[in-house]
Amino acid sequence: MNTQSKLAGKAALVTGASKGIGAAIAKQLAADGASVIVNYATDQAGADRTVAAITGAGGKALAIQANIAKPDEVSRLVEESAKAFGKLDIVVNNAGVYQFETLEELTPEQFYRNFDTNVLGLLLTTKEAVRHFPEEGGSVIHISSVVATKGFANNAIYSATKGAVDAATRALAAELGPRGIRVNAISPGMVSTEGSADFSTGEMADGLAAITPLRRIGQPEDIAPLASFLASSDASWITGETYAVSGGFR
């Protein structure tokens, strides 16, 4: 590990980092010098693979299980994370759930499942984590989605959660800015992950690629470099922003 890396000496917590975008971000932060907590809810094997990839490359990482939809587990996650590395400087709120449904199929159970993780979990994780940030501040990064601003049929609940994430990003940036804590969001387009396999392969993926200016579906590694930039001092005067990483798709 290059001790001159831009995140050297920093400690990061990445939620939902057992696979996909979260795993790619955890690996990127570690490659850039940060010590990383790899959070997972159920996929221990995936989290262990992420940790092994980081440590195998000379980085430092630890997997911690917690379901961020449960407040008591969020508290435990953050306490264990801060204890492991002595502090936290960076939080990436990546963990999320989604399912597509028509308005006719919509149920309160689906609503609460999505909002409890995608919005409440994000807010609670941020609330607990910033208590462990150093006096000079730190960086909070939310993973949003282009569906926050681009309408898709049969996607009302998930889209609403990501609209809430964008709004929370602006509000938290205003609230936490005086403490030197920057809050930004990344808004991916369609990214090929294990969780999106039904949509990021086959005819649907081909159709989305055809209307994307760069003519391809994204990969988790397309998202990770921006997260590392936003976590670093290179972004020291950037807060309250949401950045689309979508191949030009709007």
Active site residues: 158
Cβ–Cβ < 8 Å for 181, 137: yes
Query: What type of residue sits at position 141?
Result: I
Residues 241, 165: Cα–Cα separation, whole Å: 11
Helices (H) and strands (E) in the chain, counts: 8, 7
Long-range contacts of 191-194 (CB under 8 A, 24+ apart): 191/20, 191/21, 191/217, 191/218, 191/219, 191/220, 191/222, 191/223, 192/217, 192/218, 192/219, 192/220, 193/19, 193/20, 193/21, 193/220, 194/19, 194/20
Instruction: Classify each residue of 165-204 as buried b or exposed e, where b means 16 or more C-beta atoms within 10 Å of its C-beta.
Output: bbebbbebbeebeeeebbbbbbbbbbbbbebbeebbeeee
Residues 56, 51: Cα–Cα separation, whole Å: 8
